Amino acid sequence: MADSSFDVVSKVDKQEADNALQQAVKEVEQRYDFKGVGASIEWSGEKIMMKASSEDRVKAVLDVFQSKLVKRGISLKSLDSGTPYPSGKEYRIEAELKQGIEQDMAKKITKLIRDEGPKGVKAQIQGDELRVSSKSRDDLQEIISLLRGADLDLDLQFVNYR
């Protein structure tokens, strides 16, 4: 019998993120408390740039964007937002969507699988994702629940289950 396997990935659907951003733009343009404070949110290359005239207002723009991401099913663990910083007469926040599993986090996950998972489960790092394989499908299910329960600062998806 061949090994069963699945891939552990951390990806954000770019289209859903763009839809969330567009909804946030509409809300920022229409809300009364954002009138006259120069509040805006937009793509700036691969990053998301939020601007407003005060630190509180720019944090409110970030809050609006986060609520739109959650409604679209994107975990806030995949949003890496910086702290507000002054730029001229306005405050800005740069946020970035995390894609892929970084090397040190991948090593941490494979160590967790080795230490706490069932015996006979193999995990190997393949670029920015992880392949987990075992002879038993039940062991793979156990690994999925182990990783879901682990307190990792990463939004994980499990794909290519075969």
Tokens 């986060």 correspond to: 66
Phi, psi of 89 (to 5 degrees): -95, 5
Domains of the chain with bracketed CATH: 4-11+101-159 (3.30.70.860), 14-97 (3.30.70.990)
Would you place residue 161 in the very low, low, confident or very high pLDDT band (cuts 50, 70, 90)?
A: confident
Q: What's the pLDDT at 47?
A: 93
Token representation of residue 131: 């392949």
Q: pTM, whole model, 2 decimals?
A: 0.85
- Let me know if 115 is exposed, middle or buried by CB neighbors in 10 A (0-12, 13-18, 19+): exposed
pLDDT in tens, 27-47: 999 999 999 899 999 999 889
**pLDDT of res. 17:** 93
Residue labelled with tokens 């740069």:
94
